[in-house]
Amino acid sequence: MGPMKPLRAVLALFLTLLSMSAAAQALPSPRFDELERRLKIRPEQKEQFDMAVGATKRALLAVGLSLMEMKQKLAEELLKPSPDFGRLFEGADKVFEMHQPLFREAGVEWKKLYAQLDAEQVETAKRFLLDNLGEWGATPFLDQAPAKPKVLPKEAPREWI
């Protein structure tokens, strides 16, 4: 069973990188023009909307490029008679750390946009981001969203008083 373990690890790594590459190719493609239409962006919101979308596209593009580089490294290693799969992970943590400022910047821009949106627009934006980026991709931008306001009934139950 010894020789099978490395083969399984390589296969798992290969499949993971392929799926990450596919995800990276899908990430930068949200139709932000569709979001703008759904939000019914008012003229006073337009500039901040464009800032948030631009920052988001930069962050997603950077991640996509990094994942494509990782996929290329995998292909190069697979062509070698004795692949060194450790090479794939060299500096991987640094690659993703270098993208953090881009995601922070995008988060700040979304926070500014959320401040200009009404509650319905915020919920529409959050739903769009989740639908188009998935939970993992949308998290940096959703963290900046205000919590859904709690609406109390017109008449509070006695135990509330």
Do residues 110 and 145 lie in contact, with contact meaning Cβ atoms separated by under 8 Å?
yes
Please name the residues in contact with 92: beta carbons below 8 A apart, sequence gap of 6 or more: 70
Could you count the other beta carbons within 10 Å of the beta carbon of residue 83? 14
Cα(146)–Cα(123) distance, integer angstroms: 10
Q: pTM of the prediction?
A: 0.68
Question: To 10 degrees, what angle do helices 92-116 and 43-79 make?
Answer: 170
CA–CA distances in Å: residue 8 to residues 4, 15, 19, 120: 6, 10, 16, 48
Per-residue pLDDT in tens (0 to 9) along the chain, 161 residues: 445 455 555 555 555 555 555 555 544 467 999 999 999 999 999 999 999 999 999 988 888 888 888 788 888 888 888 888 777 777 677 777 888 899 999 999 999 999 999 999 999 999 999 998 888 778 888 877 787 654 444 554 555 54
